[in-house]
Structure 1
Amino acid sequence: MNELITFEDFSKVDLRIGTIIKVNDFPEARKPAYQLTIDFGDLGVKKTSAQITTLYRKDDLLEKQIVAVVNFPKKQIAKFMSECLVVGAVKAKDVMLLNPEHKVKNGTPVL
């Protein structure tokens, strides 16, 4: 377990539901990754990269709802600017995306 945090610390993390609307290969990444474009409803569209190529094909990701942190500062990855961070469970270095069981409105907060 990592260091204990307070509820106030956790409340600063803005987790939201978004729908992947575009997936591109990301050959410039050091490890195999996709570039994702995600619709967060009223929060707008954000881009990120994700090392999820071993478990997901591009076609499987389109229209998939995911959970992401939307209030990190932008981060330069190669020639790409990441604007959010998708959330997943890691098993043997493979990332499985977290997603709602039922379709919800894009931008819905995760508590």
Structure 2
Amino acid sequence: MTDTITFDDFTKVDLRVGTIIEVLDFPKARNPSYQLTIDFGALGIKKSSAQITSLYKKEDLLHRQIVAVVNFPKKQIANFMSECLVVGAVNKKDVMLLKPEEPVKNGSSVN
């Protein structure tokens, strides 16, 4: 477990649901990754780099809803600017993406 945070700390994390609308290989990444383009509805389109190639094929990710942190600062990864952080559960060394059980509106908040 990591350091304990307050509820106020938690409320600062903006978790939203979005739909992946484009998946590209990311050969310049240090570890095998994809470049994802994600539609967050009224929040707009954001890009993210994700090390999820071991469990997911590009075609399986397209049109899939995911959960991401949308209020982190942008981060340069190789020649790519990541604008959000897709979240998942780690099983051994693989990341399994978190998603809603049923489709929801893009941009919906996660509470």
Calculate the TM-score normalised by the size of structure 2: 1.00
* Alpha-carbon distance in 1 for matches of 2:21, 2:6: 35
Structure 2 distance, partners of 1:48, 1:66, is 12
- In structure 2, the gaps of 5 or more residues are none
Match of 2:31 in 1: 31
The residue that corresponds to 1:64 in the other structure is 64
What RMSD in Å do the two structures reach over aligned CA positions? Answer: 0.3
Query: Hey, what's the Cα distance between the residues in 2 that align with 1:93 and 1:46?
Result: 26
Distance apart, 1:54 and its partner CA: 0.4
2:43 aligned residue:
43
TM-score of the aligned structures, taking structure 1 as reference length: 1.00
Deviations 1:47-92 (A, max 9, x none): 0000000000000000000000000000000000000000000011
Following superposition of structure 1 onto structure 2, how do residues 1-12 of structure 1 map, counting pairs within 5 Å? Answer: 1-12=1-12
| Superposed structure 1 runs of 4+ greater than 3 Å apart | none
For this pair of structures, how many residues does the alignment match? Answer: 111
Q: Percent identity?
A: 75
Distance, in Å, in 2 between the alignment partners of 1:84 and 1:93 is 21
